[in-house]
Structure 1
């Protein structure tokens, strides 16, 4: 449970950093690319245990790492577009409600059992995510604007599902940090190529600092999540992912209130209360 708690804390802190990017006018895309380089460096230099890059490339998880690196960049761009066209609430709901995809995958492929209590907890978790992020003016979907929210929903779910599958099938004991580093290295290379194509190469000092500040917690958010998915820890992805996602939304909302004086409507407070209940239900049924 300790790794899941750490994953939630570190992942929630990432939203604080993104908020600070806006405040200090940091180029978000450039910072994201630098963050991936920083995250790779954390894994390779501090947890590599003498492993070389050619040895990493030969690891069985490398193909999955390349795919995840591409997804990390692609889904970030989809998330940005969704936030711009549909609003932050829609982007948050679409990404976090994707928890149903790895849960369904776990039940079908890994034959994980879902008790009535866990099913009820997952349903409440989805409701909590929606209520916590909805705004007064965040209303209904425009059918013409459904494409990017749907892509974000599917992409986020595929990322979580792939991470669990790779951790189960191809990542050996002790290689979690190296696997995470490989994902971030691939994401950095792909992001750098995109930046070159876009001609977005003029980098400022504060963008570099922002990328480093983002990269360190980003690395540990993946490492802690992967460790939480280990069989000797929680292991059961139908338990880990719902708790992780709803807790991140809830804690990020609380950070917004405390650090940035964000205002909540009644539905948001109800969502936080339901989130706490759903986490307890899923944890008890684990």
Structure 2
């Protein structure tokens, strides 16, 4: 459980950093690329064995980080586009509700057993995530724009499901650090290619604030993945419970920090979501 708690704390700190980006006018895309580079370096430093590129390329899990790295950048841009077209609430709900995908996969493919309390807790978690995430009176989008949040939902779910797959089938405990590092490394490479394609339209300007913002984000971002994989390997809880607790706890703590540090105002629906989140955590973790 300690690994899961550390993953939640790391992810919650990411939320704080993103909020500070608005305060200090940091350009998110450039900071994200720097963050991926920093996260990759952190993983390389934590890897206890000698780094042997040939051995890494020949490992059974190598193409996983390649695909996930590309997917990280694609989903990030889809989330940004969804927020612009359909609103921040829709993007947030689509991302967090994706926990349903690894939960279903864990039960169907890995034959994970869930008690009735846990099943009820997971259903409550989905409702809690929705209620805690929405801002304003309701979430509504045009039918023609449904594809964007749907892609965010599916892509985010694939990322979480892939983490479980590689942890289950390919990763030894000592390989978690280098595996996580490679994900961020290929995400950084993909992001740099994306920026290079944009240079023709908009010249790249090196901004120290963007670099600093990426460095501050990179460390917790790395550990959010590292500790999540460690939590999956611990076998104290099944992956369905781990992903549910991880996503719901992140929503819960992010909401509370938004209130305490950034003086955010919550609607009645938001408070209902917070209450249901606490209840779902109790049901999933304790039963």
Do these two structures clear the TM 0.5 threshold for a shared fold by scoring above it?
yes
Q: Is the 8 A contact 1:234 1:240 kept in 2?
A: no
Q: Is 2:171 aligned against 1:202?
A: no
1:36-73: CA deviation from partner (whole Å, max 9, x where unpaired): 10000001123243213333222211111111101111
Quote the offset at 1:118 in angstroms. Answer: 1.2
Q: Is 2:247 aligned against 1:218?
A: no
1:62-116: CA deviation from partner (whole Å, max 9, x where unpaired): 1111111011111000111111111111111111111110111111111111222
Q: Is the 8 A contact 1:257 1:263 kept in 2?
A: yes
Q: Is the 8 A contact 2:121 2:280 kept in 1?
A: yes
Report the equivalent of 2:96.
Answer: 96
1:185-235: CA deviation from partner (whole Å, max 9, x where unpaired): 1111111000100116322001111111110100000000000000x3435
For residues 197 and 183 of structure 1, the distance between their equivalents in structure 2, rounded to whole angstroms, comes to 21
1:119-154: CA deviation from partner (whole Å, max 9, x where unpaired): 110110000001111222443232122111100000
For residues 139 and 105 of structure 1, the distance between their equivalents in structure 2, rounded to whole angstroms, comes to 27
Report the equivalent of 1:113.
Answer: 113
What is the 5 A alignment of 1:157-172? 157-172=157-172
Query: How many correspondences in the alignment?
Result: 284
Q: Structure 1 149/74 Cα, relative in aligned 2: closer, same or farther at 3 Å?
A: same
Report the equivalent of 2:253.
Answer: 251
RMSD: 1.2
Q: Is the 8 A contact 1:48 1:178 kept in 2?
A: no
Quote the offset at 1:283 in angstroms. Answer: 0.8
Task: Report SS of the residue matched to 1:175.
Answer: helix
What is the 5 A alignment of 1:1-286? 1-199=1-199, 201-230=204-233, 232-285=234-287
For residues 139 and 130 of structure 1, the distance between their equivalents in structure 2, rounded to whole angstroms, comes to 10
Q: Is the 8 A contact 1:180 1:223 kept in 2?
A: yes
For residues 114 and 82 of structure 1, the distance between their equivalents in structure 2, rounded to whole angstroms, comes to 34
Task: Report SS of the residue matched to 1:201.
Answer: coil
Q: TM-score, normalised by structure 1?
A: 0.96
Q: Is the 8 A contact 1:30 1:203 kept in 2?
A: no
For residues 177 and 251 of structure 1, the distance between their equivalents in structure 2, rounded to whole angstroms, comes to 26
For residues 189 and 171 of structure 1, the distance between their equivalents in structure 2, rounded to whole angstroms, comes to 23
Task: Report SS of the residue matched to 1:139.
Answer: coil
Structure 2 unmatched runs, 5+: none
For residues 144 and 46 of structure 2, the distance between their equivalents in structure 1, rounded to whole angstroms, comes to 47
Quote the offset at 1:22 in angstroms. Answer: 1.3
Q: Is the 8 A contact 1:56 1:182 kept in 2?
A: no
Q: TM-score, normalised by structure 2?
A: 0.96
For residues 60 and 277 of structure 1, the distance between their equivalents in structure 2, rounded to whole angstroms, comes to 40
